[in-house]
């Protein structure tokens, strides 16, 4: 199946190399928790063909630059400069995942979200220079002990990442069908973030954003050993690993909620925006949150293929680069192969990424190991 998927991607987008295709398939795999106990078990990666195809379209739109080829004998080192120009929009594509509180106290807020769903879509779509897609998940709490009631769930995916506006609106419409309880005051925000980060179906090459909307405190298994969900430390590590930015949308003014949301925003490069109790400013808040995220990006290089040849990148990161600016990296390559009776060709593929995820540029560096007679 993987071979067939790779062939399909390369048939659709002929500029995508086999090496890049393999990376896209791996990075687009959807991590799904399938065992009965979702907390103590690791997720399994399932092929997400739609996400992989969408990722290849992003890559093809960025275009592949080919550096001048270099001869590289074993043990010798040469440097190649890679210049990266950040697009005016800071990223060519964004995936936005809505993670929405479904407990009873959020009933009015959900109703407002449903009323404003079309406006939210139009606001996201108004950025014509950015390919925006979206997904929707909800949460209340585990139906165990005093944490939640029967019928509550700690996480439910209503729509994975899609460009279908009608699908987004339909998913938001399901958030109160049924509305859940949550029983005690804190809810399963950490568990929901942990699951959404791994399961929402990110496209490779996009800036990844989770919009967390809540008015309640967070259950944390780091401080409550009996709680069955993911804890603060696990969630922060997962968000960093997946290069996800969190924008907090807080209804009300409870300090404990603000504290948790602010920590998530600070750790991921996001922001916290306050709403009134009915979330009536949600469209403006989402717009402001995205504007803050898109103001600048940290630029790094990701070696997709030929990693053994790359022995250094200087600098490792350019921080706070604004749209339209160009930054340069010096990539050191060291020969890894013995000479043969003829020149041996190899390729190194490098993607420049914004904030660890968004694809900014693609570069191919051709390498020839010179034949023995040319030494």
What one-character-per-residue DSSP string does 96-164 give? EEEEEE-SGGGHHHHHHHHHTHHHHHHHHHT-TTSEEEEEEEEE---SSTTT--TT--S-EEEEEEES-
Statement to judge: residues 24 and 80 lie in one domain: no
Statement to judge: residues 168 and 225 lie in one domain: yes
Fill in the DSSP letter of residue 185. Answer: S
For the stretch 295-337, pLDDT in tens is 999 999 999 999 999 999 999 999 999 999 999 999 999 999 9
Adjacent-strand bridge partners of 70: 367
Statement to judge: residues 109 and 226 lie in one domain: yes
Statement to judge: residues 125 and 225 lie in one domain: yes
Which DSSP string corresponds to 50-112? HHHHHHHHHHHHH-EEEPPPEE--BT-EEEEEEEEEPPTTS-SEEEEEEEEE-SGGGHHHHHH
Statement to judge: residues 55 and 129 lie in one domain: no
**268 φ/ψ angles, rounded to the nearest 5 degrees:** -115, 0
What is the per-residue pLDDT for 280? 66
CA distances from 228 to 142, 307, 346 (A): 8, 39, 49
Q: How confident is the model at residue 375 (pLDDT cuts 50, 70, 90)?
A: very low
b/e sequence 218-241, b meaning 16+ C-beta within 10 Å: bbbbeeeeebbbbbbebbbebbee
Statement to judge: residues 289 and 300 lie in one domain: no
- Smallest CA-to-CA distance from 49 within 38, 41, 57 is with 57
Statement to judge: residues 187 and 149 lie in one domain: yes
Statement to judge: residues 146 and 106 lie in one domain: yes
% of the chain residues with pLDDT over 90: 72
For the stretch 142-199, pLDDT in tens is 999 889 999 999 999 999 999 999 999 999 999 999 999 877 889 999 999 999 999 9
3-state class of 327 per DSSP?
Answer: strand
Statement to judge: residues 306 and 187 lie in one domain: no
Q: How many CB atoms lie within 10 A of CB 213?
A: 26
Average pLDDT of the segment spanning 49-67: 90
For the stretch 214-245, pLDDT in tens is 999 999 999 999 999 999 999 999 999 999 99
User: Is the distance from CB of 194 to CB of 156 less than 8 angstroms?
Assistant: no
The answer on pLDDT for 32 being more than 60 is no
What is the per-residue pLDDT for 254? 86
Distance CA 188, CA 146 (A): 13
Q: How far is CA 123 from the centre of its chain?
A: 20
Domain count along the chain: 3
What is the per-residue pLDDT for 14? 66
For the stretch 81-130, pLDDT in tens is 999 999 999 999 999 999 999 999 899 999 999 999 999 999 988 888 99
Residues sharing a CB contact under 8 Å with residue 266, sequence separation 6 or more, in sequence order: none
User: Is the distance from CB of 164 to CB of 170 less than 8 angstroms?
Assistant: no
The answer on pLDDT for 41 being more than 50 is no
CATH code, domain carrying 155: 3.40.50.410
Supply the range of the domain harboring residue 28. 1-62
For 101, half-sphere exposure in the C-beta direction (CA atoms, 13 angstrom radius) is 30
């Amino acid at each position: 199946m993987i071979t067939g998927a790779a062939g399909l991607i390369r048939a659709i987008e002929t500029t995508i190399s086999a090496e890049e295709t393999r990376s896209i398939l791996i990075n687009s795999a959807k991590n799904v928790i399938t065992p009965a106990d979702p907390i103590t078990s690791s997720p399994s990666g399932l092929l997400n063909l739609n996400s992989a195809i969408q990722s290849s379209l992003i890559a093809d739109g960025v275009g592949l630059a080919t550096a001048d080829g270099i001869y590289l004998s074993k043990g010798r080192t040469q440097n190649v400069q890679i210049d990266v120009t950040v697009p005016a929009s800071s990223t060519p594509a964004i995936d936005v995942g809505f993670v929405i509180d479904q407990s009873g106290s959020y009933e009015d807020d959900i109703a407002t979200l449903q009323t404003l769903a079309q406006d939210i879509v139009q606001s996201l779509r108004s950025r014509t220079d950015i390919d925006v897609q979206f997904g929707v998940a909800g949460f209340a709490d585990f139906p165990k002990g005093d944490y939640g009631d029967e019928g509550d769930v700690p996480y439910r995916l209503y729509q994975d990442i899609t460009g279908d506006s009608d699908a987004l609106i339909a998913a938001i419409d399901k958030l109160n069908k049924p509305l859940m309880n949550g029983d005690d005051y804190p809810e399963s925000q950490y568990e929901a973030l942990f699951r959404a980060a791994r399961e929402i179906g990110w496209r490779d090459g996009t800036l990844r954003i989770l919009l967390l909307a809540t008015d309640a405190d967070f259950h944390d298994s780091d401080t409550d050993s009996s709680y069955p969900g993911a804890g603060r430390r696990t969630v922060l590590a997962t968000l960093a690993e997946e290069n996800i930015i969190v924008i907090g949308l807080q209804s009300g003014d409870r300090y404990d909620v603000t504290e948790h949301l602010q920590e998530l925003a600070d750790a991921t490069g996001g922001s916290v925006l306050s709403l009134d109790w009915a979330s009536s400013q949600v469209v403006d808040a989402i717009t402001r949150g995205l504007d803050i995220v898109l103001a600048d990006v940290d630029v790094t290089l990701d070696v997709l293929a030929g990693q053994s040849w790359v022995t250094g990148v200087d600098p490792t990161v350019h921080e706070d680069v604004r749209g339209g600016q160009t930054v340069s990296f010096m990539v050191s390559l060291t020969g890894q192969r013995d000479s043969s009776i003829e020149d041996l060709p190899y390729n190194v593929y490098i993607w420049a990424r914004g904030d660890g995820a968004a694809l900014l540029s693609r570069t191919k560096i051709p390498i020839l190991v010179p034949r023995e007679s040319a030494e």
